[in-house]
Amino acid sequence: MPQQITIGLFGFGSVGSGIYHVLKKKQIPRIHLKTIVVKSPNKPRSIDSKNFSYRAEDILEDTEINVVLELIDDAQAAYTIVKKALESKKHVVTANKKMLANHFEELVALSKKHKVSLLYEASVCGSIPILRTLETSFAYDNLKSLKAISNGTSNYVLTRLFQKLQPFKDIITDAQKHGFAESDPTLDIDGWDSKFKLIINNYHAFGVLNTPEEILNLGIRHVKPEDIEFAKEKNFSIKLIGHSNLDEEGLTAYVAPQFIPKTEALTSIDFENNAVEIDAEFAHQHLLKGKGAGSIPTASAVLSDLVSLFDDYCYGYSKARQQSAEFNDEKLIKVYMSSYDRKDLKPIKFETEILCGTQKHLQYKIGKISVKSLKQQTADLSSELFVAVFPD
Amino acid sequence: MPQQITIGLFGFGSVGSGIYHVLKKKQIPRIHLKTIVVKSPNKPRSIDSKNFSYRAEDILEDTEINVVLELIDDAQAAYTIVKKALESKKHVVTANKKMLANHFEELVALSKKHKVSLLYEASVCGSIPILRTLETSFAYDNLKSLKAISNGTSNYVLTRLFQKLQPFKDIITDAQKHGFAESDPTLDIDGWDSKFKLIINNYHAFGVLNTPEEILNLGIRHVKPEDIEFAKEKNFSIKLIGHSNLDEEGLTAYVAPQFIPKTEALTSIDFENNAVEIDAEFAHQHLLKGKGAGSIPTASAVLSDLVSLFDDYCYGYSKARQQSAEFNDEKLIKVYMSSYDRKDLKPIKFETEILCGTQKHLQYKIGKISVKSLKQQTADLSSELFVAVFPD
């Protein structure tokens, strides 16, 4: 058990500055933030520049620092830092979902090899303690499914679209103005961010580890007012869901917009909120809802990881040890696709076609297709096709 | 760290038989259920009588048994068992909220003195991991409020009343028939059960420890169809809430029916489900929803406590160590009271009266009153007065 936590912090963006302020406010005995390393000396920041250093070695080669907080954006640079930190036998707390999803196995193995903790609660759903809950409370339950609304930007956009019919682009512009969307929203609205989080969740929930290349991610970029109308008429909401489902045939997992019946709890998760719905054999259905993003809420998850180091906490990965669930992308799912141009629907071949229809000028089709086939057939689409999963 | 968990189980009712079946199904290495002690040799049970013993000493004096699972109904007998178990340096996992609320300080001190764990996740909100979440994820956040729907029976009854206007007694009879209410529903519908859970929650969330005598509990026994109509017309639900709120003036805490705006998440918690809403300075608002009762869901919480003993887990009680929040029952709250008989409203003196009205034959008043004064004035009421907290 470390008697003293001496922190080297990489990054002073939203979460980095958040944890700085939280630590300053809490003044926790035996926790000391010693060094902050940032990349650019010229960027204006909320605290004096004398607080910053610009050389990674100032943290990585400081033997007094026993914990590295990695809170930078650049996943590749983060990987280099985290790797070196673990090799230097420093505990690591990170929020970098992309880095984790890309280098999960290697980094977990490194942390085990060097007997240090690698914690990353803040990487998935902000302040919702989903990883800790999976690890401690559901470690020996048998999980059947996990559905996550894990991207605040997409959920904000979808909530606004359901409030008032308007073009997708107008909302994105407005969301950017209010700080709910990045200047390049691709990672968020095309499902990449949700996919990284799904990969992390699945390792803890089902013991299955996928690479980002293996997992289908469909986004909400091409959702149209008529799709929203269609959903409303049929008493659905549309949510971007990281969906994982385990049965005898294996683990089905993908990120896609989904039509969710209005009676289901996930429908009520609005704006930038996140939520995770778990169905477990013994505990049955659970919902965790909270702030999925934001400087201080995400910092609260970093803080909970930090203080748990006093108890030598590290993830048990009990599902990976217990089970041998296999990823299976052959499963058929029911899918809705739509476009203003009927030609756009052609490239996607359903296994079984169920329904064809129109909603004003919109053409749509519903049918069954395997996750694998849907992934292959949507890989290089350049059209404005909107694809969403439909309930069975 | 115990290499082997050898269990002595007291009780084979709903939760006791639940954990028996869960352990049998999971076959977790290094966990062995050795002895089951029950009270009555004559009660019919789902497994053969050769599995049972009838002498507490068969567990308490067995030095091989290092974990006692206390899952009996009788709070006084449970107290004797748990005390002896802790004194014999056995870890204890219990679901007995009444016993804990009555003997909290002594039992926690005993577990510390004998350096064994006393865990009780299953005592509050069944399979919702609320205590672990408070202990691990919000231990260093500053909690502002905690609202819990922690009694499945009351919530089931209220949900049914909002579905269809009908007399309270008819629903209770029906709930008893379906196994959602005990033959004597007093503990549930008069808010006692919720109060025991509130006391446990508050110790972990705010570090404040109350005795049951200090806390106001109002129940739902006297809610009438016209109260439901009144709520519906004004876009409220009514929920039985364990309510705790911390501000500069201290911790206000009570159990009472509350009018909840329909837009709030707690409104959507229906039937026998439970939920806890937390508001924290850093993490902001969180909701945890799940099965608050039931044999197997509650057993899943017992299981999570059991396996955490492999990691020497015990509660940190960090809030009790960090803060010195003080209980304060002087705070004014806004209260609604109603009865068919105007005379019934007389004994309660508001600090400020806000509104008087009628709903069909029902007379009601809304006003402000301190929690302390409300507790005193409702202590010996024999009338059919319904009292509920109204939003500010």
Residue (of A360, A49, A70) closest to A228 by Cα position: A360
Measure CA B256 to chain center. 13
Q: What is the pLDDT of residues A334-372, one digit of tens each?
A: 999 999 999 999 999 999 999 999 999 999 999 999 999
Q: How many CB atoms lie within 10 A of CB B390?
A: 18
Give residue ranges of B with CB < 8 Å to any A CB: 22, 26, 28, 121, 127-129, 132-133, 136-141, 265, 268, 280, 282-291, 294, 296-297, 299-301, 303-304, 307-308, 311, 316
Q: What's the total number of domains in chain B?
A: 2
DSSP state for residue A61 in the 8-state scheme = T
Cα distance between residue B107 and residue B97, in whole Å: 12
Q: Are residues B154 and B95 in the same domain?
A: no
Active site residue A197: yes
Cα distance between residue B28 and residue B8, in whole Å: 16
Cα angle for residues B151, B318, A126 (degrees, 5° grid): 75
- Examine the fold and report which residue of A51, A84, A119 is the final residue of a domain before the chain moves on: A119
Cα distance between residue A313 and residue A6, in whole Å: 16
The CATH number given to whatever domain includes residue B48 is 3.40.50.720
Q: Which of A136, A149, A291 to mutate to test the interface with B (most CBs of B within 10 A)?
A: A136
Residue A304 inside a domain? The answer is no
* Confidence band of A33 (pLDDT split at 50, 70, 90): very high
For residue A132, which residues of chain B lie inside 8 Å, CB to CB?
132-133, 136-137
Cα distance between residue A131 and residue A202, in whole Å: 10
Residue B126 inside a domain? The answer is no
Pair of tokens at residue B187: 């503990």
Cα distance between residue B208 and residue B152, in whole Å: 25
Instruction: Tell if the CB–CB gap between B301 and A139 is shorter than 8 Å.
Output: no
Coil, helix or strand at residue B2: coil
Q: Say if CB A244 and CB A201 are below 8 A apart.
A: yes
Q: Are residues B87 and B26 in the same domain?
A: yes
Instruction: Tell if the CB–CB gap between A28 and B140 is shorter than 8 Å.
Output: yes
Q: Which of A137, A138, A269, A276 to mutate to test the interface with B (most CBs of B within 10 A)?
A: A137
Residue B317 inside a domain? The answer is no
pTM above 0.90, yes or no: yes
User: A138: distance to nearest CA of chain B, Å?
Assistant: 7
Coil, helix or strand at residue A55: coil
Instruction: Tell if the CB–CB gap between A127 and B268 is shorter than 8 Å.
Output: no
> Which one from B195, B197, B319, B334 is the annotated catalytic residue?
B197
Cα distance between residue B73 and residue A235, in whole Å: 44
User: B304: distance to nearest CA of chain A, Å?
Assistant: 5
Coil, helix or strand at residue B133: helix
Cα distance between residue B205 and residue B244, in whole Å: 9
Residue B320 inside a domain? The answer is no
Looking at residue A383, its amino acid is S
Instruction: Tell if the CB–CB gap between A284 and B297 is shorter than 8 Å.
Output: yes
Q: Helices (DSSP H) in chain B: which residue ranges?
A: 14-26, 57-60, 75-87, 97-113, 130-136, 152-163, 168-177, 186-189, 192-206, 225-233, 295-308, 318-322, 342-345, 371-378
Cα distance between residue B87 and residue B91, in whole Å: 10
Give residue ranges of A with CB < 8 Å to any B CB: 22, 26, 28, 121, 127-129, 132-133, 136-141, 265, 268, 280, 282-291, 294, 296-297, 299-301, 303-304, 307-308, 311, 316
Q: Are residues B287 and B366 in the same domain?
A: yes
Q: Are residues A79 and A201 in the same domain?
A: no
pLDDT, residue B383, reads: 86
Complex ipTM > 0.85? yes
Q: Are residues B145 and B268 in the same domain?
A: yes
Instruction: Tell if the CB–CB gap between B283 and A301 is shorter than 8 Å.
Output: yes
Question: How far is it between the farthest Cα atoms of chain A?
Answer: 66
Q: Are residues B42 and B89 in the same domain?
A: yes
Q: What is the pLDDT of residues A260-287, one digit of tens each?
A: 999 999 999 999 999 999 999 999 999 9
Cα angle for residues B289, A163, A383 (degrees, 5° grid): 100
- Examine the fold and report which residue of B119, B151, B168 is the final residue of a domain before the chain moves on: B119
Q: Are residues A331 and A359 in the same domain?
A: yes
Residue A303 inside a domain? The answer is no
Residue (of A119, A79, A120) closest to A312 by Cα position: A119
**Rounded alpha-carbon distances, angstroms, from residue A237 to A174, A383, B164, B303:** 21, 24, 27, 36
For residue B300, which residues of chain A lie inside 8 Å, CB to CB?
138, 141, 280, 282-283
Residue B373 inside a domain? The answer is yes
* Confidence band of A177 (pLDDT split at 50, 70, 90): confident
- Judged against a pLDDT cut of 80, whether residue A119 lies above it is answered with yes
pLDDT, residue A301, reads: 97
- Examine the fold and report which residue of A60, A90, A119 is the final residue of a domain before the chain moves on: A119
Residue A153 inside a domain? The answer is yes
- What is the domain range of residue B260? 131-294+325-389
Pair of tokens at residue B162: 């909002």
Q: Say if CB B392 and CB B364 are below 8 A apart.
A: no
Q: Helices (DSSP H) in A234-317: which residue ranges?
A: 295-308
Residue whose token pair is 């691990």: B136
Q: Which residues of chain B have pLDDT under 50?
A: none
User: A7: distance to nearest CA of chain B, Å?
Assistant: 17
Q: Are residues A204 and A174 in the same domain?
A: yes
Mean predicted lDDT score pLDDT of chain A: 95
Q: Are residues B342 and B202 in the same domain?
A: yes
Q: Which residue has better confidence, A89 or B293? A: A89
CB pairs under 8 A between A and B: 123
Q: Which residues contact A240 (CB under 8 A, 6 or more apart)?
A: A149, A151, A154, A155, A158, A191, A194, A219, A220, A255, A256, A257, A258
Q: What is the pLDDT of residues A201-245, one digit of tens each?
A: 999 999 999 999 999 999 999 999 999 999 999 999 999 999 999
Q: Which residues contact A183 (CB under 8 A, 6 or more apart)?
A: A176
User: B299: distance to nearest CA of chain A, Å?
Assistant: 8
The CATH number given to whatever domain includes residue A199 is 3.30.360.10
Residue of chain B whose Cα is closest to the Cα of A138: B304
pLDDT, residue A266, reads: 96
- Judged against a pLDDT cut of 80, whether residue A180 lies above it is answered with no
Residue of chain A whose Cα is closest to the Cα of B268: A265
Residue A302 inside a domain? The answer is no
Q: Are residues B139 and B240 in the same domain?
A: yes
Pair of tokens at residue A258: 């989904």
User: A342: distance to nearest CA of chain B, Å?
Assistant: 40
User: B133: distance to nearest CA of chain A, Å?
Assistant: 7
Q: Are residues B105 and B184 in the same domain?
A: no
Residue whose token pair is 């329909």: B262
Mean predicted lDDT score pLDDT of chain B: 95
- Judged against a pLDDT cut of 90, whether residue A175 lies above it is answered with no
Q: Are residues B290 and B343 in the same domain?
A: yes
DSSP state for residue B27 in the 8-state scheme = -
Question: How far is it between the farthest Cα atoms of chain B?
Answer: 66
Instruction: Tell if the CB–CB gap between B137 and A139 is shorter than 8 Å.
Output: no
Q: Which of B136, B262, B278 to mutate to test the interface with A (most CBs of A within 10 A)?
A: B136
